[in-house]
Amino acid sequence: MQHNILLTGASGYLGGSLLAEWSSAKLPPHGKLYALIRSDVQAAAVQKLGAEAIWLDTSNAESVRQCIVEHQITVVLWLINALRSEGQLALIHALAEVKRATGRDVYLIHVRITSLVDDAEKLLTSLRYPDERSEALL
Ligand SMILES: NC(=O)c1ccc[n+]([C@@H]2O[C@H](COP(=O)([O-])OP(=O)(O)OC[C@H]3O[C@@H](n4cnc5c(N)ncnc54)[C@H](OP(=O)(O)O)[C@@H]3O)[C@@H](O)[C@H]2O)c1
């Protein structure tokens, strides 16, 4: 059985660029491509590019679970705010349920930018820990 994929952030820079190139990229065979959307305009746009639109509130763990299980999604591309984690955690739990039920490998691909590490360093420095404590945290 091929992987069904959920692309998040499809209206954003990274997700939108990926979706625009999706059909011309020489990707391995895969199942359905779903794109998470939050408006009718986005739904029409992703459908034009070959994805099936899914409305989903990633902060609602039960909705996330139902969506992933119902669509038998085994790959999620997280291209939304990398500084928050609730959505990813709900998705990981939902993917684990699909894995338990089907025995299939599941993947969550989380994209973040390395400058976030610099931000974390600045934050930790600003906390005025003794040097050795902030270094240990990094
Ligand atoms: N841009 C880069 O060069 C780059 C490089 C490496 C990593 N990253 C990381 O990749 C992620 C995406 O970057 P980007 O530049 O593509 O960002 P972006 O253009 O601002 O796009 C953000 C996307 O996330 C969606 N989104 C935001 N909050 C959401 C929520 N609560 N539920 C569902 N969707 C939500 C937005 O949907 P709406 O349009 O509906 O608001 C939009 O599609 C960020 O975490 C960024 O740090 C970016």
Determine, yes or no, domain membership for 127.
no
Determine, yes or no, domain membership for 128.
no
Q: Is the Cβ–Cβ distance between 65 and 87 less than 8 Å?
A: no
CATH number at residue 84: 3.40.50.720
Q: Which of 11, 76, 78, 115 to mutate to test the pocket of ligand 1 (most atoms within 8 A of CB)?
A: 11
pLDDT, mean of residues 39-47: 98
Determine, yes or no, domain membership for 63.
yes
Which atom of ligand 1 lies nearest, measured to the CA of 58?
A: 32
pLDDT at 51 over 70: yes
Give the residue numbers spanning the domain of 19: 4-113
Determine, yes or no, domain membership for 126.
no
Strand extents, DSSP E, the chain: 4-7, 33-37, 52-55, 73-78, 107-110
Choice among 58-62, 73-77, 115-119 with the minimum mean pLDDT: 115-119
Determine, yes or no, domain membership for 122.
no
- What is the residue with the minimal CA distance to atom 38 of ligand 1? 11
How many CA atoms are closer than 13 Å to the CA of 83, on its beta-carbon side? 6
Contacts of 15 (CB under 8 A, 6+ apart): 7, 8, 9, 35, 77, 79
Determine, yes or no, domain membership for 134.
no
Determine, yes or no, domain membership for 24.
yes
How many CA atoms are closer than 13 Å to the CA of 71, on its beta-carbon side? 27
| Number of domains forming the structure of the chain | 1
Which atom of ligand 1 lies nearest, measured to the CA of 83?
A: 45
Ligand 1 binding pocket includes 6 (Cβ within 6 Å): no
- Tell me how far apart the alpha carbons of residues 91 and 97 are, in angstroms, rounded to a whole number: 10
Q: Is the Cβ–Cβ distance between 90 and 68 less than 8 Å?
A: no
pLDDT in tens, 93-114: 999 999 999 999 999 999 877 6
Determine, yes or no, domain membership for 124.
no
pTM comes to 0.86
